Structure 1
Amino acid sequence: MPRTLTILLALAAMLLLVPDADALNSRQRNKLEQAQSVFASAVRWSDYEAAWQMVDPEVRDAKPMTDLELARYHQLQVTGYREGGTSSLPDGSITRDIEIGVINRHTQTERHIRWRERWRWDEQGKRWWQMAGLPDFWGGE
């Protein structure tokens, strides 16, 4: 395959991963990038309280985090947070695939999980909320 065609196909594939430019204005895109960066940083540094504050209030109210759940999170040390593909959904929300490495501080065992963030724009608050909660490092246990 000619090199030019390969490059064009790669660029076209990357454009499919970017949210529709018409769906998000530049201010919303900037705020999304900022919110995702703050959330990712909080998780990377195992600051689960800060990450929890980025979670949609409706999600937090529907399933409040218990002290026991928070204690379980504090048993973990994040070793990697790799951002993957992004896509927009018909309802206007944005998803981003993540791979997270984590070590249990007590057993010193490391594992990797795949997880999907989901973000929604709050028109009234002019901000993005993360709708998936905190990463599930235990597979629903």
Structure 2
Amino acid sequence: MNYIQPFKIKILLLSIIFLVLSSCAIQSYEMKEFDKSYRLYEKAIRWQDYDLMLGFHKNATKKELSESRRKKLKQFRVSGYHILFTTIDPSEQSATQVVEVKYYNKDYNVERDMTITNKWEWNEQIERWELANPFPDFR
């Protein structure tokens, strides 16, 4: 009988430890959406889907992508997009992501790079992440 009690206690302790560890691994809805958002934005910038990119920028309008700007953007190709680091606010309502974008100008065959600090904000009303910084400026 004495053998059964310690066995039950061990099972109980192992169950508690398992529950605690598994609850730590659960990601919040906002963080899952953040992962989706920044990955989709990365694909959009790599594939030059400027309309999709613009949709991520807070307060952005279609006027920002005028016909002349679209024509100018066609001369650039993104050759690399590397996330240098990501910082997430403890409240999980904002995040800062520093990325390095490598691109080349097809007209001059020159590769350049720029470092962008993306400031992501969770919009509670529409339940999605938005970029607070302006549309990237390729030069």
TM-score (norm 1): 0.71
Q: Residue 54 of structure 2: SS of its match in structure 1?
A: helix
Which amino acid letter does the alignment assign opposite residue 97 of structure 2?
A: R
Seq. identity, %: 25
- The structure-2 alpha-carbon separation of the partners of 1:84 and 1:28, relative to structure 1 and needing over 3 Å to count, comes to same
| Structure 1, unpaired ranges of 5+ | 1-20
Cα offset, 1:89, TM superposition: 5.4
Name the SS for the 2:109 alignment partner.
Answer: coil
For 1:65 and 1:104, the matched residues in 2 are separated by: 19
**Residue 95 (str. 1) matches residue 96 (str. 2):** yes
Equivalence for 1:131: 132
Aligned-residue Cα RMSD (Å) equals 2.4
CA offsets, 1:2-46, max 9 Å, x none?
xxxxxxxxxxxxxxxxxxx9xxx6100000110000000000112
User: What amino acid sits opposite 1:116 in the alignment?
Assistant: T
Moved more, 38-47 or 64-73: 64-73
Which SS does the other structure have where 1:107 is aligned? coil
In structure 2, give the amino acid aligned to 1:81.
Y
Counterpart position of 1:3: none
Residue 31 (structure 2) aligns with: 29
Could you tell me which residue of structure 2 aligns to residue 38 of structure 1?
Answer: 40
4+ long deviations beyond 6 Å? none
Unaligned runs of 5+ in 2: 1-23
Partner Cα distance (1:65, 1:37) in 2: 22
Rounded to whole Å, the distance in 2 between the matches of 1:104 and 1:117 is: 23
Residues 2-21 of structure 1 aligned to structure 2 (within 5 Å): none
Question: What is aligned with 2:10?
Answer: none
Residue identity opposite 1:100 in structure 2: V
Quote the offset at 1:90 in angstroms: 8.7
